Amino acid sequence: MAKSQSVWGIEIGQTALKALRCTMVDGEVMADAFDFIEYPKILSQPEADADELVSDAINQLLERNDSITDKVCVSVPGQSGLAKFFKPPPVEVKKVGDIVRYEARQQIPFDLADVVWDFQMMPGSMVEEGYALESEVGLFAMKREQAYRQLAPFDRSDIEVDVVQLAPLSLYNMLAYDRMSDRLDADLFDPDNPPASSVVLSIGTDSSDLIITNGFRIWQRSMPIGGNHFTRQLTKDLKLTFAKAEHLKRNAREAVDPKLVFQTMRPVFNDLVTEVQRSIGFFRSLDKKAEIGELLLTGNTVKMPGLAAYLEKNLGYDVQVLDRFNRLTGDDVMANPAFRDNAPTFAVCYGLCLQGLGSSQMHTSLVPREILTERMIRAKKPWTVAALAMLLLGMSGHYAFTERSWATTHDDLWSNSVSAVTAMEGYKSDHQSKDDELDAKLSYLNVMGKEVSGNAERRLKWLEIIKTVNNAVPRKSFVDGKIPTRQEVPFDEREDIHVTRFDTKYYDDLKDWWTEELAQRYREEFRNWALLTNKELDEEEEAALLSDAGPEGAGWVFELSCYHDYNKESLTTGGGEIGSNHVRRVMTSSFLPDNPLSKTVELPRSDGGKEIYTLAEMGISYPLMLDDNDPKLVKIANPDYDPAAGFDGDEGETGGDGEDDKDSEPAFFQVPRLEFVFQMVWQEQPLADRVAKKEAERAAEKERQAEEKKRAADAAAATP
């Protein structure tokens, strides 16, 4: 059946079927039809036959709209599927699919054969020259059985569903197109300074979806609380039937005692606020740079009197109800009283229409692959039959002409020649097969020989150097590899250096990196380090420092983005150092070659043993702190914070508890933090060279000891 240019977005809710049809007109999305079909009963009620109610609603939709020949996009609840977001390592774009397949096996707790899944790279991902550098990938999945269950009512009504999308992602598509199009069109995303995020709370009948997005990144969670919880609370406390309680909830202001109604529902209000606070708090712990700008409400539950005001008062955000869409046109629909009355519940349908029209950011679909293949085959059957008919006609004609030519030919005339050619062909094939077999064996032996005799050390060099750098980074507060609690060691008394980013760059000639400005900075840092560690430079050392021409030859430059919180002013007493001096004291000392405080690393040998190397033996040199900054106060989220405890303040710089309530935990701690960039040079020292050098040193030491022992024996023998 031919599809038109319009798209139907259909959401099967717990209380009603919502449908919106949109068309692209002159680059704008126009709504030209809608429907809101409320079920006689809520689908989750025990006595309700959900399949029958949904099928009846779809049939009503077909009757009211003269059947549906447009493209159809359908949503499924967020809790019906799985949505995971992860950052792949820098890789070619064409290999992202392989990484996602591996990630799918790890993240999806079912056999992939039993799951429908899809993925895509998120907006703002950095792709240069075919490589995905800074990117984030969304992985979405749903059990195949669940997908067929969602499509069953449409199959019974002969409606072909083109797209199946998770409701939270449809809400994201709506928000990205309707309110964040400017920032997405610019396609400028700085992960270190992201734009403000919006929180979308879609309150359903039995559950709610919470989505936090800045247009480029998404975080979503389904919460087990919805509009029915308010109804059940009224049923329980006021001893009403479910139908009467639902009517009272929707018309609370017209009740005999509105105050009693709101007091009865207050525990559910509190539970909803707590769930939202917990979700936002958990999101902030994952993304400490995110800023929340607003909270948007969708779903017909938001029409309940006082809900938006209560959330705004208790959450402290600007709360708005999504009862209008900025970029959706179509006066016939937008001006319809029924649409205006139910506008908050059409946000998901709007997002589905945007995906169907190709104007959405997310374009994944969870329609089972075998259904799409079956449709494609069905659509191509007429063309296939026509092609086969033409082929059969052509072959028939060819057969007729061939048969006519064959009638003029005599087999006996060519039989001897054909036999001779056949025999020679067999002889040639035997020798060619043997030659191919020998050639393949030779190629295999050549490859194996190169692999066995080749240099396999290159496989280990990055593992060795990463372990070397990781081992040298100071972690003085760790006990048996564990991070201490803030009660054991306050944040501003921890001497640890934290690395947030590790970048590398290769130079054919390190002179290109060693500029005069960098050399001057290195000399200043070396003098500061010497002054801090009470190592006075004599004239010879100062002259050597000034004449140092820097590293020579090819090599790598490592750049570490780091920070530390060891900036408490009181720590300067007793010889302690904070700020940049702390970096020089522990970080520079750890990486500086020929320094007694420089770290060592134990690495395996090719013979199964282990060897200890200094950083200089590993090829590390010229450690340098690039910037000399001042500490700045930062907020650290408290994992022990309980929103219900009512603590309003932040913890001060000293790391102590707040004074407002001694039994409660603050939401954040304020700590002076120094962020800095640290560089060093690495010139590869092959494993074989290092081992040979160690063996030579040990052999020389044995010879020296043997010589001393011999001299001692000779001296003893010469003594009378």
Burial class (CB in 10 A: 0-12, 13-18, 19+), 27: exposed
Q: Three-state SS for 176?
A: helix
The pLDDT of residue 638 is 83
Position with higher pLDDT, 406 vs 320: 320
The pLDDT of residue 573 is 57
Position with higher pLDDT, 350 vs 242: 350
User: How far out from the chain centre does Cα 262 lie?
Assistant: 41
On the question of a common fold for 1-179+326-367 and 191-325, the answer reads yes
Sign of torsion, CA 421 426 427 431?
A: positive
Q: Per-residue pLDDT for 44 more than 90?
A: no
Asked which of 247-256, 276-285, 526-535 is least confident by mean pLDDT, the reply is 247-256
Per-residue pLDDT tens digits for 475-519: 887 777 788 887 788 888 888 899 999 999 999 999 999 999 999
Q: State the Cα torsion 351-353-356-362 to the nearest 10°.
A: -10
Q: Can you tell me the distance from the alpha carbon of 212 to that of 221, in angstroms, rounded to the nearest whole number?
A: 9
Position with higher pLDDT, 606 vs 335: 335
Q: Which amino acid is at 459?
A: R
Asked which of 40-54, 144-158, 215-229, 477-491 is least confident by mean pLDDT, the reply is 477-491
Q: Per-residue pLDDT for 38 more than 60?
A: yes
CATH for the 1-179+326-367 domain, from 3.30.420.380, 3.40.50.2020, 3.90.1150.10, 3.40.50.12590: 3.30.420.380
The pLDDT of residue 456 is 59
The pLDDT of residue 653 is 43
pLDDT band at 353 (very low <50, low <70, confident <90, very high): very high
DSSP secondary structure of 500-542: EEEEEEEESSGGGT--HHHHHHHHHHHHHHHHHTT----HHHH
Number of H helices, E strands in the chain: 20, 24
What is the number of other CB atoms lying within 10 angstroms of the CB of residue 698? 10
pLDDT band at 654 (very low <50, low <70, confident <90, very high): very low
The pLDDT of residue 497 is 92
- Nearest CA among 712, 674, 658, 431 for reference residue 571: 674
Per-residue pLDDT tens digits for 192-207: 788 889 999 998 888 8
What CATH number was assigned to the domain covering residues 191-325? 3.30.420.40
CA distances 84 to 89, 165, 644, Å, are: 16, 14, 29
The pLDDT of residue 674 is 93
Asked which of 167-181, 243-257, 415-429, 596-610 is least confident by mean pLDDT, the reply is 243-257
Q: List the chain domain ranges.
A: 1-179+326-367, 191-325, 374-406, 417-454, 465-685
Token pair, residue 304, equals 């309940």
Per-residue pLDDT tens digits for 535-591: 878 888 888 888 888 899 999 999 999 999 888 887 775 556 888 999 998 899 889
Token pair, residue 88, equals 């792949």
For residues 252-268, average pLDDT: 80
Cβ atoms 603, 467 nearer than 8 A: yes
The pLDDT of residue 657 is 42
Q: What is the DSSP letter of 633?
A: E
Asked which of 111-115, 438-442, 604-608 is least confident by mean pLDDT, the reply is 604-608
The pLDDT of residue 663 is 60
In angstroms, what is the C-alpha Rg of the chain?
Answer: 37
Q: Can you tell me the distance from the alpha carbon of 679 to that of 236, in angstroms, rounded to the nearest whole number?
A: 66
Per-residue pLDDT tens digits for 672-711: 999 999 999 999 988 888 888 888 988 999 999 999 898 8
Q: Can you tell me the distance from the alpha carbon of 302 to that of 204, in angstroms, rounded to the nearest whole number?
A: 9
The pLDDT of residue 410 is 64
Mean pLDDT, the chain, as a whole number?
85
Q: Per-residue pLDDT for 140 more than 60?
A: yes
For residues 445-471, average pLDDT: 77
For residues 303-319, average pLDDT: 85
